[in-house]
Structure 1
């Protein structure tokens, strides 16, 4: 299996756990405790916080977006469950970007997004991927609890799980250094260019609960296990959160393969890749992270890593369910 992973030519950190035992834990160009910007993989953690609030009776999956943000186009028709499953029919106006150009606050960014959101009725209850859905989930949880998304994330994951290499990209330099973050790089015109921190920072604020956290493989594996088998969510809550329909079988931040009983999450941006593959019981987990990326290779790598996960499971072919 190491030969297959090395053949990907990924420079980064690799962790393979099979049947609760570490099978591989090594790095190519970095270290095993190096942290990376996990981008969209963070959505799984955001979704679980929302589901925990549902579990506590503070929210309902049937709540309409208009209850929290009545000014958003289509808010009277969009429900919380739509935001979690990317079936809300929401997107940004053509030419608009998530968040303000100059960060002021999370709520300021959300107000900016709300003013630039369009609703497509034909896409309601149909899968349409947009990080906008999860930015609004962050705003909703803050309205309900009176705490910032960062506070909720730290109280839910960092402190109880004693995560050591997990930080927000905007944390103080000393904390970022302590997390062992490496700079993101993109290969262009025959060389790797380091992504400017200010550009990455702007996107991190704009992507709030969908791409603002850096984590090491060890911390990430610990959180994945917590989401899928820990005390944060009940079995019933997990069943509701990860109920998924075609074509993407996406819900709660994961692509859910019903037949294989696996969950998939991928992250890409600002010179980083994060690939997570896990069985539903979190006994077998594959995590590959890199800070050296090439334009156009992400989808190819996803497919190749899916095949490696197959071998790890002792299977020959994926079922018809899409694994993102």
Structure 2
């Protein structure tokens, strides 16, 4: 009798599993990231399925995009070529450009948690020769209302040390006391280069070492690496600038230029890996809930905070990245549970409408509960 019951239960379980599996689209997985190369769990949600393709295919999209709901991938769209021979995949990695700034902010707050830094510290405590440093705080660097500005520099060669980069910054950065006094916001990547230099100064470690220890190892990220890594371990895409006539020009910045993007655009990540990391910063998994709120939650009418912009209707956080043939976008709820992540290795001359499509989709997707 017992044997018959066990056999019946076994057959019933097999039928249930089989019925569930056939509902999955090709390439879907419902197991954890410890057993697959996918950074987070992926499930089928028929309500969301196909939304990305419907929206992004109109832009001749080349890249990887994911929709996240309740911390799971509920829709994905992959199109185009990663290289001259390989297609883009869910695990393809892309240069994230300015989307790195929110990650650098997390490294800064991690040192605040350790007592090595305060958001109220003046920059002259660490870099006394920097123009205006005695008037600028760490918080003001994070929110880009420091009064600093610096034109884009050209670099040659394949090497540039952090010390050499800092010398270039000190010689070329400009401080406007009136702008600083007014609290005027100005998007200046040099703010995050300076923050990265300070991180290296107070820890005695390279930015890459801090990133590896704080993020890659702790979250077991498998599709994340630095642009200057010699041993390429991920399915890395080439970045292409696409001309009006459709011609693709592969981008290959020299090593010094890559190193000059310290803390602001040196990392390659897959879309799932990037979501997992940013969500872990916003929800407090890495920094703690209170520290995460203090760092990232916008105040008053402030639009930009620690690497993320704020959309108010509906309320969500976002960032955009452009450069070296790549275009990247993230739109994410404050609790990290819902997100739109779109990475492209086609940077179209002029405007191909990708950002507009991402914004339209995000308003609808992040606007309902």
- Structure 2: which 5+ residue stretches go unaligned? 1-50, 81-87
Change (3 A) 1:98 1:57: farther
- 1:8 paired with 2:59, answer yes
Residue of structure 2 in register with 1:87 after alignment: 145
Write out aligned runs for 1:173-322 (5 A). 175-176=231-232, 178-188=233-243, 190=245, 191-198=247-254, 201-244=255-298, 249-257=303-311, 260-297=314-351, 300-314=353-367
| Contact 1:100/1:206 (8 A) holds in 2 | no
Residue of structure 2 in register with 1:319 after alignment: none
Does the residue aligned with 1:24 lie in a helix, a strand or coil?
strand
- 1:111 paired with 2:111, answer no
Cα deviation code 1:52-110 (max 9, x no counterpart):
11122211111111111111111111110110000011112x5x617676533112111
Cα deviation code 1:212-261 (max 9, x no counterpart):
00000111111012111243212221222124357761111111335634
Change (3 A) 1:138 1:314: closer
| Contact 2:298/2:305 (8 A) holds in 1 | yes
The runs of at least 4 aligned residues of structure 1 exceeding 4 Å deviation read: 98-102, 245-248
Write out aligned runs for 1:49-60 (5 A). 49-60=107-118
Question: Which range moves more in the overlay, 103-112 or 261-270?
Answer: 103-112
2:177 and 2:354 mapped to 1: Cα distance? 34
Change (3 A) 1:293 1:246: farther
User: Matched residue pairs, number?
Assistant: 307
Does the residue aligned with 1:275 lie in a helix, a strand or coil?
strand
- 1:129 paired with 2:187, answer yes
1:189 and 1:21 mapped to 2: Cα distance? 37
2:253 and 2:128 mapped to 1: Cα distance? 35
Residue of structure 2 in register with 1:321 after alignment: none
Q: CA RMSD in A?
A: 2.0
1:99 and 1:243 mapped to 2: Cα distance? 36
- The higher radius of gyration belongs to 2
- Structure 1: which 5+ residue stretches go unaligned? 316-324
| Contact 1:286/1:309 (8 A) holds in 2 | yes
Write out aligned runs for 1:133-152 (5 A). 133-152=191-210
Residue of structure 2 in register with 1:157 after alignment: 215
Change (3 A) 1:247 1:194: farther
**What TM-score do the two structures reach when normalised by structure 2?**
0.78
Cα deviation code 1:149-179 (max 9, x no counterpart):
010000011111111111110101xx32x21
1:22 is aligned, of 73, 76, 99, to 73
1:147: Cα distance to partner? 0.4
Question: Which range moves more in the overlay, 132-141 or 11-20?
Answer: 11-20
Residue of structure 2 in register with 1:322 after alignment: none
Residue of structure 1 in register with 2:40 after alignment: none
Residue of structure 2 in register with 1:66 after alignment: 124
1:32 is aligned, of 53, 68, 90, to 90
| Contact 2:316/2:366 (8 A) holds in 1 | no
2:299 and 2:174 mapped to 1: Cα distance? 24
1:303 and 1:269 mapped to 2: Cα distance? 18
Question: Which range moves more in the overlay, 223-232 or 204-213?
Answer: 223-232
